[in-house]
Structure 1
Amino acid sequence: MRLVRPRGNVVRAAIALGTAAALFCGLSTGAQAATGDFTYVNVNGDDFTLHDPANGECFLLVSGARSAANHTNATATLFAEQSCEGSGLTMPPNTSASFGGAAPHGVRFG
């Protein structure tokens, strides 16, 4: 009886495929995202959009937001600080707001 051994390339490909599958399955359960767009106009009049932003992550609002619209399915909390620390202003899903003198510089969803 002759023993058939797999070739080195086949073994390496199988290991790579198994590793990729493990990473994909392991990472896919942890991160959830708000569905939809969060748009804002900064103090310079530039338009920005965050599409399906990840929940729990702090996003920088470039140059601060003059106005914002939360068209996601998650609550957006806006903060004066870029690091999303301190007290925040909440924007429920499908709401918009304009900001006076103190422009928020960070937003977190969820």
Structure 2
Amino acid sequence: MRLHRTVVAALGALALVTALPASASAANGTLHYVNVNGDDFSTANPVNGECYLLVSGAAHVDNGTDTTATVFSDHGCEDVLGPALPPGSARDFGAPVPHSVMFS
């Protein structure tokens, strides 16, 4: 009887663990940017699919991650601003500057 309870408990725990949603994947590396005021910012290992605000707009973006970064002219990651930045690439921006970024 004791073995039966142990097996049932182990199977229950296994079912609970496998039923949990997978954790969100993240880009490995760091996004660095310089805003229009010359201030430096960085975000390490950003979560794919999340919208990140670029404080005061970015004059320069350096995608030091292993994932493509798409920049947007608005604050809500809706209006794409130019081509996406592939992993390891950087770009300077004039007007308009990006105000948000998302990784995919």
Band of TM-score, shorter chain: 0.7 to 0.9
Identity, % of aligned positions? 45
Larger Rg: 1
1:101 is displaced (CA, Å) by 1.5
1:66 paired residue among 19, 35, 59: 59
- One-letter amino acid of the structure 2 residue matched with residue 73 of structure 1: D
- Aligned residue pairs, count: 89
1:97 paired residue among 74, 91, 101: 91
Secondary structure (helix, strand or coil) at the match of 1:86 reads coil
Counterpart for residue 29 of structure 2: 36
Runs of at least 4 residues off by over 6 Å:
none
Q: What is the TM-score of this pair, normalised by structure 1?
A: 0.74
CA RMSD of aligned residues (A): 1.9
Report the Cα distance in structure 2 between the residues aligned to 1:76 and 1:104, rounded to whole angstroms. 12
Secondary structure (helix, strand or coil) at the match of 1:88 reads coil
Report the Cα distance in structure 2 between the residues aligned to 1:34 and 1:83, rounded to whole angstroms. 19
Q: What is the TM-score of this pair, normalised by structure 2?
A: 0.78
The runs of 5 or more residues in structure 2 that have no matched partner are 1-12
The runs of 5 or more residues in structure 1 that have no matched partner are 1-17
